[in-house]
Amino acid sequence: MILLENEHIKVAVAAKGAEMQHIISKQTNLEYLWKGDSAYWGKFSPVLFPVVGGLKNNTYSIGDQSYQLPRHGFARDLEFEVQQINEQEALFTLSNNSETLKVYPFEFRFSLRYKLSGASVSCTYEVHNPGVKDLLFSVGGHPAFAVPLTSDTVYEDYYLDFSQDEALHVHEIEDNLISDKTVVIQLNERKLNLQHDLFYNDALVMKDLNSKSIQLRNTKNQHGLTFRFIDFPFFGIWAAKDADFVCLEPWCGIADGIHHNQQLSDKEGIQSLSPGLDWKRSWAVEIF
């Protein structure tokens, strides 16, 4: 486990999956990340690469050749190489190997850079194409934040405060795929109240979210967090059934639609990176 620390915050990241597992306030000793209870969901903040969400029949094609990948890809289950740059920054890198090439026939270098700044930690996805053909990929975040944060509150005391007062156009999920059905949830003065049954039909998946930051707040005290993200065209909000967390998920990519032809090049939200080029996206969490 790699530890990052400054006067405000402590963060721990595992080499497996480059997964952040703790965000702790040094002022209050509050833990802001979910505890990873496998009875509900055993992860903390997995990275989604080289696909986001489910593939139709767990299969995709490049021309006439078909390959299989699990939901959300393989990066979250692999060991990353670690470079601790200083007390407040670390870089985790995964490159293609003989095993990844069997299921994903692309050369790649994929990195997660974690960096502290005040009471904030940022996560930057860095993709480099070392190959001779275009690199097709998706990438996304899946951090799970503890709800409730404090012992004097319960799940229903919490709400999400969006930076824009908007209607959420939620695309319903059918067998891990994006269906043709949508549901509109109108925010109440930018707020979405959290309750467990909000996620009984899986995640809230949006393709046109206008907000670029969301705060997790509660009605009983001032503890919460601000989650900032830009240049992510898709967004998911999720919790396992009756679990004490909420995931805020910025995505460059999305699950297959139920009518998708399974060609990777035609996949909605797929990123294409030319040989020798680099690609970056970042999100950040500030605790309070």
One-letter amino acid at 164 equals Q
Contacts of 288 (CB under 8 A, 6+ apart): 119, 222, 223, 224, 225, 226
Query: pTM here?
Result: 0.97
- Residue 267 has a pLDDT of 98
Distance between CA atoms of 189 and 244, rounded to whole angstroms? 25
Q: What integer pLDDT is reported at residue 225 of this predicted model?
A: 98
CATH number reported for the structural domain that contains residue 125 in this entry: 2.70.98.10
Sign, CA dihedral 142-146-148-149, equals: negative
Q: Please report the pLDDT score of residue 197 as a whole number.
A: 97
How many CA atoms lie within 13 Å of 254's alpha carbon, on the beta-carbon side? 25
How would you write the pLDDT of the chain (288 residues) with one tens digit per residue?
A: 999 999 999 999 999 999 999 999 999 999 999 999 999 999 999 999 999 999 999 999 999 999 999 999 999 999 999 999 999 999 999 999 999 999 999 999 999 999 999 999 999 999 999 999 999 999 999 999 999 999 999 999 999 999 999 999 999 999 999 999 999 999 999 999 999 999 999 999 999 999 999 999 999 999 999 999 999 999 999 999 999 999 999 999 999 999 999 999 999 999 999 999 999 999 999 999
Per-residue tokens: 76:
């979250």
Amino acid at 256: D
pLDDT for 252 equals 98
pLDDT of residue 14: 98
DSSP string across 163-202: SS--EEEEEEEETTEEEEEEEEEE-BTTEEE--GGGGTTS
Q: What is the pLDDT of residue 212?
A: 98
* Under 8 Å between Cβ of 248 and 214: yes
The number of domains in the chain is 1
Residue 117's pLDDT is: 98
Q: What is the pLDDT of residue 156?
A: 98
For residue 135, which phi and psi values (nearest 5 degrees)? Answer: -95, 120
Please say whether the beta carbons of 105 and 69 come within 8 A: no
Structure tokens at 264: 């990777």
Structural domain including 93 reads 2-287
Counts of helices then strands in the chain (DSSP H, E)? 1, 24
Torsion of CA 245, 44, 2, 127, to 10 degrees: -120
